[in-house]
Structure 1
């Protein structure tokens, strides 16, 4: 497994979430879908989030059941394995609805590790 501690991995996740928020800004779904650079940047950072979540030890994850770890990793797997078949609607839903709450939860855990 990773030599990076869960705290560092959570930091990677938070950094990617912040980047996504910066890239998307005030966009709506239509603007997002038509901006391939932003879509590519967001998808890449979702991959990083999923990869970092994959590297967090299972015992740490089981201690934080409030985080939907399987969904986080699953999205990464889906993005990586489907390549050009990524559903922009799903990506937008994750970015606009799921990430803000998830970011808050991850931040709470990271703060407790400091």
Structure 2
């Protein structure tokens, strides 16, 4: 279950960092770096989750989540901040719901 908690923590961190809004996100290199780093962690952690778990929990878009890092971080100096913002605002909330529900399910089963 700790992997789910780690993913939830990264998502929560990102939500906290972008809370000031889009203008502040685009102005602040610090916020951008923090968001991008947490997206990297989500992507890497997702890739490392055991195959059996990924296969058993097939309703979670594992491949898409793992690919987040690859899409965003194709070049450390070529990150498209518009893509990052859209992922954070449109894609991340969907993934957070999956992760939250699965984390609760695992907690209740233990």
Q: TM-score, normalised by structure 2?
A: 0.88
Counterpart for residue 3 of structure 1? none
- Over aligned residues, Cα RMSD in angstroms? 1.4
Name which of structure 1's ranges 64-73 and 96-105 shifts more when overlaid on structure 2. 64-73
1:101 matched to 2:97:
no
Q: Which runs of 4+ in 1 moved over 6 A?
A: none
Cα distance in 2 for residues equivalent to 1:26 and 1:37: 13
**C-alpha displacement of 1:65:** 2.1
1:66 matched to 2:59:
yes
Structure 2 unmatched ranges of 5 or more: none
Q: Is the 8 A contact 1:10 1:52 kept in 2?
A: no
Q: Secondary structure at the match of 2:57?
A: coil
Cα distance in 2 for residues equivalent to 1:89 and 1:62: 32
The 5-angstrom pairing of residues 39-58 of structure 1 reads 39-58=32-51
Cα distance in 2 for residues equivalent to 1:42 and 1:36: 10
Q: Secondary structure at the match of 2:60?
A: coil
Deviations 1:33-52 (A, max 9, x none): 22111110000000111111
Count of aligned residue pairs for this structure pair: 107
**C-alpha displacement of 1:55:** 1.1
Cα distance in 2 for residues equivalent to 1:82 and 1:67: 27
